[in-house]
């Protein structure tokens, strides 16, 4: 039997890495083999008894079952075999109801085993379909019998004792085997789930340890990198104050500009890493948004003036109060406004604040007349380290972290940041946050 199993399903089992799938293949194969052996016995009985209808039916079913075995071997697909097994058994039941002119105990047992098999191997949808299919001939038989219609004119056949005994034992074994297989599959799934839970716990412990190490690394790097840079900038300031040589002052100015740029870059990278490690502790307080925006953008006016840009702020007519972290809010406004100034060469940058959505939310809008963003790049605008112009030939410097950090800050505060842009026509960034106090009074 092992050689026979190896011949028909050996390759199929080796090609199926899933243990549950292998168990289903074995289940279907075993049922086909046992049923085929029983059919051979039945066929011998039909020959002896002279049951011609049963003889023809037995030959057809034996041929179909042999075909199923070779289908498993060459096609290596168990689902069509399961469908055909259920349909063959259903057809056999229907013919037996006609031949015996009765819905016997054996037919009932076979119906139950078919339905269990369909649910177990084909799923709930096909299980329900085949349940209805098995119910139709049974209900039809009882309805016709109830109204006195006899669809068989000749006397019904009687099942031989040995046929009935083999049928009973076969069906009983199949039902027990299906229940046993289902239980083993359940135990296997439960064991697999337990292993998955253990692996997830272990992975979580590793992730927590990596987060701790990353936090320690960021803390150390924040100190070890910023401290020497600040020292270099401090020394350059002393040199600038004490020297009278204009050429040296020019060199010092370049050194300070480069140092501040390096410090800003490192600070942005460390801040992004800290945000991704979820190490931001919010210090929430009630904030007057108009005042905060006004104070923050005031320091950016010289930057716009150096590029000969128009720079304006239009606050809302009503007071805007929110509950937020003041440092994060300042950083968000700074990053978005600086981004607008940097990519605008003509025109200007306008900042406005106002209520939206029935005064439950407010918006800070930063509108510029700069380069704009192409439609293709818009989905990537908030991705870290991504800029529309890349490579050494790019016109504008920067790390591509400003907007990414701004978006993460806004999400920490429970808000959103949106962008509307058109290439060569400018961009509008809209920061949306909830209002702290819904009771708004006019100034």
Q: What is the pLDDT of residues 369-398, one digit of tens each?
A: 998 888 888 888 888 777 766 545 555 666
Residue 243 placed within a domain: no
Name the domain boundary from 136, 166, 201.
Answer: 201
Name the domain boundary from 201, 222, 251.
Answer: 201
Q: Write out the residue range of the structural domain in which residue 290 sits.
A: 284-434
Strand partners, 419: 429
Same domain for 81 and 196: yes
Name the domain boundary from 145, 168, 201.
Answer: 201
Q: Which of 250, 249, 252, 256 lies closest to 229 in space, CA to CA?
A: 256
Structure confidence by residue, pLDDT tens digits, 389-424 = 654 555 566 666 778 888 888 888 888 999 999 888
Between 300 and 101, residue with greater pLDDT: 300
Residue 275 placed within a domain: no
What is the pTM for the complete model shown? 0.49
Please state the φ and ψ torsions of residue 70, each to the nearest 5 degrees: -70, -30
State how far the Cα of 237 lies from the Cα of 383, in Å rounded to an integer.
Answer: 36
Between 108 and 308, residue with greater pLDDT: 308
Structure confidence by residue, pLDDT tens digits, 266-292 = 776 666 666 665 555 678 889 999 999
State how far the Cα of 29 lies from the Cα of 16, in Å rounded to an integer.
Answer: 15
Same domain for 183 and 42: yes
How does residue 89 score in pLDDT terms, banded at 50, 70 and 90?
A: confident
Determine the pLDDT at residue 442.
41
Same domain for 138 and 15: yes
Instruction: Say which range, 114-123, 362-371, 426-435, has the weakest mean pLDDT.
Output: 114-123
Residue 62 burial (CB count, 10 A): 16
Give the mean pLDDT of 154-160.
Answer: 61
Determine the pLDDT at residue 398.
62
Residue 230 placed within a domain: no
User: Cβ contacts of residue 271 below 8 Å, gap of 6+?
Assistant: 405
Task: Kindly state the percentage of the chain with pLDDT values over 70.
Answer: 85
Residue 427 near residue 342 (C-beta atoms within 8 A): no
Structure confidence by residue, pLDDT tens digits, 312-335 = 999 998 888 998 888 888 888 988
To the nearest whole number, what is the mean pLDDT of the chain?
A: 81
Between 359 and 91, residue with greater pLDDT: 91
Cα 252 to Cα 238, 243, 244, 261, 407, distances in angstroms: 10, 10, 12, 14, 35
What CATH number does residue 429 fall under? Answer: 3.30.565.10
Residue 77 placed within a domain: yes
Residue 404 placed within a domain: yes
How many domains does the chain fold into? 2
Residue 117 has pLDDT above 90, yes or no: no
Residue 439 has pLDDT above 70, yes or no: no
Determine the pLDDT at residue 366.
95
């Amino acid at each position: 039997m092992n050689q026979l199993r190896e011949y028909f399903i050996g390759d199929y089992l080796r090609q199926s890495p899933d243990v549950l799938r292998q168990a289903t293949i074995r289940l279907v194969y075993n049922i086909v083999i046992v049923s085929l052996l029983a059919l051979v016995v039945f066929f011998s009985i039909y020959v002896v008894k002279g049951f011609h209808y049963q003889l023809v039916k037995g030959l057809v079913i034996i041929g179909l079952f042999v075909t199923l075995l070779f289908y498993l071997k060459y096609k290596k697909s168990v689902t069509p075999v399961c469908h055909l097994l259920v349909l063959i058994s259903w057809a056999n039941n229907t013919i037996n109801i006609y031949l015996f002119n009765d819905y016997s105990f054996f037919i009932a047992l076979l119906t139950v085993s078919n339905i269990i098999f369909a649910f177990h191997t084909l799923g709930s949808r096909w299980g329900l379909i085949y349940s209805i299919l098995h119910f139709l001939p049974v209900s039809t038989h009882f309805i016709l019998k109830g109204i006195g219609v006899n669809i068989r004119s000749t006397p019904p056949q009687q099942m031989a004792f040995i046929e009935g005994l083999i049928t009973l034992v076969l069906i009983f074994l199949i039902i027990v085997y299906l229940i046993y297989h289902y239980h083993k599959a359940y135990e296997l799934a439960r064991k697999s789930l337990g292993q998955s839970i253990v692996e997830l716990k272990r992975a979580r412990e590793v992730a927590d340890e990596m987060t701790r190490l990353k936090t320690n690394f960021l803390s150390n790097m924040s100190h070890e990198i910023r401290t020497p840079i600040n020292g270099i900038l401090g020394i350059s300031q002393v040199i600038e104050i004490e020297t009278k040589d204009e050429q040296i002052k020019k060199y010092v100015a370049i050194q300070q500009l480069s140092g501040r740029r390096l410090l800003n870059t490192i600070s942005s990278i460390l801040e992004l890493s800290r945000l991704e490690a979820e190490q931001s502790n919010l210090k929430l307080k009630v904030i007057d948004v108009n005042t905060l925006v006004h104070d923050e953008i005031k320091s950016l006016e010289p930057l716009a003036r150096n590029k000969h840009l128009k720079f304006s702020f239009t606050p809302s007519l009503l007071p805007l109060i929110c509950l937020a972290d003041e440092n994060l809010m300042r950083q968000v406004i700074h990053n978005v406004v600086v981004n607008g100034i940097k990519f605008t060469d003509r025109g200007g940058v306008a900042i406005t604040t106002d209520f939206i959505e029935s005064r439950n939310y407010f918006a800070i809008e930063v509108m510029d007349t700069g380069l704009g963003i192409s439609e293709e790049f818009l989905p990537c605008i908030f991705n870290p380290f991504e800029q529309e112009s890349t490579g050494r030939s790019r016109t504008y410097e920067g790390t591509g972290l400003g907007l990414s950090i701004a978006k993460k800050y806004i999400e920490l505060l429970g808000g959103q940041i949106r962008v509307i842009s058109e290439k060569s026509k400018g961009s509008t960034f809209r920061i949306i946050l909830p209002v702290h106090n819904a009771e708004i009074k006019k100034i």
